[in-house]
Amino acid sequence: MKFLKMLVLVAFVVFAMGAANADIVNTWYLNGVTFTDGTTATGSFDWDATTSTASNWNITTQNGFAENGVSMSGFNYTPGDSIGNAYNNTFGPNSILFVKNGVTQYISFQTFGPLTDAGGNMPLELGTDFGSGSGLSYECLNCFPSGRQMVSGSLTTQAVPEPASMMLLGSGLLGGARMIRRRLKK
């Protein structure tokens, strides 16, 4: 009888997890992001694939130099001091931009496809010459001509469990518990 109660409890927990996962967002991590001056960008941001919105970003760049030799201060982009959003088809399809408040310094990530809940590794669209616009992943200060292109990197995440699958598992466990209960009564 204890086993049956435990099975029913587990089924309800799994079922509830499926319902709770309906609005979960993925955390995407910067992986190996390097600029033309050899400096890096690190950090992460949460992404809601349903609404194409970013939240909880924390992205840090290092002090370095723009491709035209102008010094660029590193910056820690967070919701408290910058804005972040998707600008699909403004800076190219699948571009995500984080803009420092009150200054024309921003970082742009251009991916080859949309960020989804499927998880995995999403390569960045890269370039080697900021002035030519050869790639749309870069950081700039008073953009054009002062910027530095990303020459390597990707965004990575883990898959978010699909809510329907969790609910199906919970339903199956409940059905199994019911069958066991019926057999025990006979």
Task: Tell me the residue type at 182.
Answer: R
Given a cut of 80, is residue 59 above it in pLDDT?
A: yes
Beta bridge partners of 144: none
Average pLDDT over residues 63-78: 91
Q: What Å distances lie between residue 141 and 61, 71, 152, 162, CA to CA?
A: 12, 9, 20, 40
**Which of 116-120, 129-133, 158-162, 164-168 has the largest mean confidence?**
116-120
Same domain, 7 and 59: no
Same domain, 38 and 110: yes
Return the pLDDT at 35: 94
Given a cut of 60, is residue 113 above it in pLDDT?
A: yes
Q: Which of 149, 78, 70, 161 is CA-nearest to residue 118?
A: 161
Same domain, 97 and 63: yes
Same domain, 64 and 7: no
Return the pLDDT at 97: 87
CA dihedral 85, 88, 92, 98 (to 10 degrees): 0
Same domain, 66 and 44: yes
Given a cut of 50, is residue 74 above it in pLDDT?
A: yes
Same domain, 66 and 148: yes
Same domain, 109 and 51: yes
Q: How far apart are the first and last CA of the chain?
A: 14
Given a cut of 90, is residue 116 above it in pLDDT?
A: no
Using DSSP, state whether 80 is helix, strand or coil. coil
Same domain, 38 and 15: no
Find the range with the poorest average confidence among 34-38, 146-150, 162-166: 162-166
Same domain, 140 and 178: no
Find the range with the poorest average confidence among 30-34, 91-95, 147-151: 91-95
Given a cut of 60, is residue 134 above it in pLDDT?
A: no
Same domain, 152 and 62: yes
| Token digits of residue 146 | 């002062």
Q: Each residue of 169-178: pLDDT tens digit? A: 666 666 666 7
Residue length of the chain: 186
Same domain, 143 and 56: yes
Same domain, 110 and 35: yes
Question: What is the residue-averaged pLDDT of the chain?
Answer: 79
Domain containing 169 equals 2-21+163-185
Given a cut of 90, is residue 136 above it in pLDDT?
A: no
Confidence of residue 25 (pLDDT cuts 50, 70, 90): confident
Q: What Å distances lie between residue 35 and 20, 117, 151, 163, CA to CA?
A: 39, 27, 5, 38
* The total number of structural domains that make up the chain: 2
Return the pLDDT at 19: 47
